A and B are shown apart, each in its own frame.
Chain A
């Protein structure tokens, strides 16, 4: 409970809001640039980039971060809002309704695999510096 109220009332909430605006704005820009068709490249790219940044962020010792607000700002705010599950779910469901389950399943698996690799690669970039 105290953590939840601190999230809403404290400086952490401001950090989350600033990160969320930057993340959602960047996602909008990338989707505009790369398109949102049958294979939504824009969503795939933001999901991979956001996962890499989050992997990098959470691999470090938070006490070594420049500021305690870095985690809520970049992790919860920026990465959380840059990446999205709902857009992916709707894109896959629409492909399924079109009887194109193969393409939908391929997109889903590609998104899951690429984001997982991104988390590991991002963490790998942080660890040498943190130790």
Chain B
């Protein structure tokens, strides 16, 4: 049951991520990826006080798949290779600060 929920939520997380990136990313800036990572980090922080079953299924399964580190890394490395230094610095800084900040706020607000 836990395994099925984990896998089901992982699929949903990946599909929602795909749609948000598809709609949100522009040629010059990956707004969609940024939104996915910040929102997912906030929601995982909110689950800080949740039980192990919720953490495994919705946390590790759903939000783990919803947010991504590989696409983020590929995007900012590509910005560097294309010589887009301002975008690179902005994307890297905003993603890191906003994701950690959002996780922190989520933990603070956790019931």
Partner of B14, one of A19, A86, A88, A97: A19
If over half of B's interface residues share one DSSP class (helix, strand or loop), that class is named, otherwise mixed; here it is: helix
**B7 touches which of A24, A53, A120 (Cβ 8 Å):** A24
Count of A residues near B, CB < 8 Å? 53
Is B107 in contact with A108, judged by CB distance below 8 angstroms? no
* Interchain CB contact under 8 A, B100 and A20: no
Q: Mark B31-42, 1 if CB is under 8 A from A, else 0.
A: 000000100110
Chain B residue nearest in CB terms to A20: B14
Q: For residue A118, which residue of chain B has the nearest CB? A: B73
Q: Which chain A residues (32-63) contact chain B, with CB distance < 8 Å?
A: 47, 50-51, 53-55, 58
CA distance A16 to B11 in the complex (A): 7
- Is the beta-carbon distance between B7 and A85 smaller than 8 angstroms? no
- A97 contacts B44, CB within 8 Å? no
A51 to B45, CA, bound (A): 24
| Contact partner, A84, options B22, B69, B77, B102, Cβ 8 Å | B69
Interface of B toward A, CB cutoff 8 Å:
6-7, 10-11, 13-15, 17-19, 22-23, 37, 40-41, 43-45, 48, 56, 60-61, 63-74, 76-77, 92, 95-96, 99-104, 106-107
